[in-house]
Structure 1
């Protein structure tokens, strides 16, 4: 039986709520098509790093990151209302390029490895 730590459960809830906040409550025109990939929570539950990806150009990614960083206080205030935690973590947004890296590695492997028919 797998044991879950409290930080795992809390980070999962934060991920759901931040996704809903970005989708429904943030009205910043700089926001692009955002997907929250994961949330890394510190052991003391005081800092939540939200990793997100954006579908679009590099300018759209930069603008979305700026909008999310500027709206971090707003996101934190809504999290405080929606989650029943003693302390609401500080929210830090980081752009997650893992999908792009995976696609790039896959294309490099296809160039190097011969295809099987």
Structure 2
């Protein structure tokens, strides 16, 4: 039951934060931020907010600083929209999803190149022995 409540609360916080960020903050450092996930602790006191930023490393860093400096305002915004006795503290954590996706794409490209190289070698390969190495049953007319 508690994990269901945590998940519901996390989803609600994600929606509230996404709507608030869509309206914009007055911080020029904030880039195009997407809230990817919110995980709430079992006691509902703390929420880890995972986010991604579209752009360069500098833009990601600047957006992270902007979110951290706006944490108090965003927490009070969450508190206004939640029907809970306590508002959880917020911690903004950059989601490693884009970096992982880039790494996976690189690995897939590498594997594709290796497959192409192996296919090239296989197309010009010849059999080491007979083409059909399997022993066939003797027919009635065959004698040694």
Q: Which runs of 4+ in 1 moved over 3 A?
A: none
1:88 aligns with 2:87: yes
Residue in 2 aligned with 1:98? 97
The structure showing larger relative contact order (alpha-carbon pairs under 8 Å, at least 6 residues apart) is: 1
1:71 aligns with 2:77: no
Query: What aligned pairs does 1:22-101 form with structure 2 within 5 A after superposition?
Result: 22-101=21-100
State the Cα distance separating 1:74 from its structure 2 match. Answer: 0.3
After TM superposition, the score normalised by the length of structure 2 is: 0.73
Pair member with larger Rg? 2
State the Cα distance separating 1:106 from its structure 2 match. Answer: 2.1
- Segments of structure 2 that go 5 or more residues without pairing to the other structure are 120-144
For 1:91 and 1:22, locate their aligned partners in 2 and report how far apart those are by CA, in whole Å: 15
Deviations 1:28-71 (A, max 9, x none): 11100000000011010100010000000000000000000010
For 2:111 and 2:8, locate their aligned partners in 1 and report how far apart those are by CA, in whole Å: 41
1:19 aligns with 2:18: yes
- Segments of structure 1 that go 5 or more residues without pairing to the other structure are none
After TM superposition, the score normalised by the length of structure 1 is: 0.89
State the Cα distance separating 1:109 from its structure 2 match. Answer: 2.4
State the Cα distance separating 1:21 from its structure 2 match. Answer: 1.3
Residues matched between the structures, number: 113
For 2:24 and 2:82, locate their aligned partners in 1 and report how far apart those are by CA, in whole Å: 16
